[in-house]
Amino acid sequence: MKINKKTIINIVVILFILSFFVTPMGHYGKVLLNKLFAFSPPVIEEANREKITDYDWKLKDADWNFFNFEKSRGNVVFINLWASWKLPSEAELASIQTMYDAYNEKMDFYIITNENRPPVEAFMEKHEFTFPVTYLIIGEKMPINPDVVPSSYLIDKSGNIVVYKEKIADWDTSKVFGLLDKLIAE
């Protein structure tokens, strides 16, 4: 039996597509696709910005110590809600790490999950992320919606939500860095 060139090409294409479902290459391919289709987040028009007025919100740090969001009043704040088991979160966190590396001394970062520590610590170690993880206290009042994961907020020094992005965004862009420089200088 003779196999023609078209049949061989079809088999190769089918095997390539199947590899996205049954091999680690598929996982990395999906992460890469998410990164490729992530863009700079949109900035909310000044007239349409909501304001956070209640900073009395309890969280847990990476050492499982309680602290209050009140400590960020008057600072530029970045909040990201994520889950280690959600592929879009994994794709977004690399750009957040770059932003954290550039701005961790100039603003506050809350990279928030509602997971337990062991899977989060394993995830952080595997990906070599060094930003601080914050843990959500389920049932605690909060000024943002914790149900949309992943999602992110950028808050200015006055408490105005300058950026709100559901799903993923690319935080490692000159547009974002320019906005951060402007907000920090205010």
28 and 44 belong to one structural domain = no
pLDDT band at 5 (very low <50, low <70, confident <90, very high): confident
123 and 159 belong to one structural domain = yes
How far is residue 47 CA from its own chain's centroid?
A: 26
Average confidence (pLDDT) over 115-142? 90
User: In angstroms, rounded to a whole number, what is the distance separating the alpha carbons of residues 154 and 80?
Assistant: 9
In the structure encoding, which two tokens stand for residue 18, read together?
A: 């199947």
In the structure encoding, which two tokens stand for residue 16, read together?
A: 């390539």
The amino acid that residue 31 corresponds to is V
Q: For the packed helices 5-22 and 24-36, what is the interaxial angle rounded to 10 degrees?
A: 90
99 and 58 belong to one structural domain = yes
Identify any residues that bridge with 51 across adjacent strands, giving them in sequence order: 160
Tens of pLDDT, residue by residue over 154-183, are 999 999 999 999 988 889 999 999 999 999
CA angle 98, 165, 35 (to 5 degrees): 50
User: 4: part of which helix (H) or strand (E)?
Assistant: none
pTM over 0.85, yes/no: no
Instruction: Count how many domains the chain has.
Output: 2
83 and 133 belong to one structural domain = yes
User: In angstroms, rounded to a whole number, what is the distance separating the alpha carbons of residues 82 and 13?
Assistant: 34
29 and 48 belong to one structural domain = no
Least confident of 56-65, 84-93, 115-124: 84-93
How far is residue 139 CA from its own chain's centroid?
A: 22
Residues spanned by the domain of 21: 5-34
Tens of pLDDT, residue by residue over 16-49, are 777 766 666 655 666 566 566 667 788 899 999 9
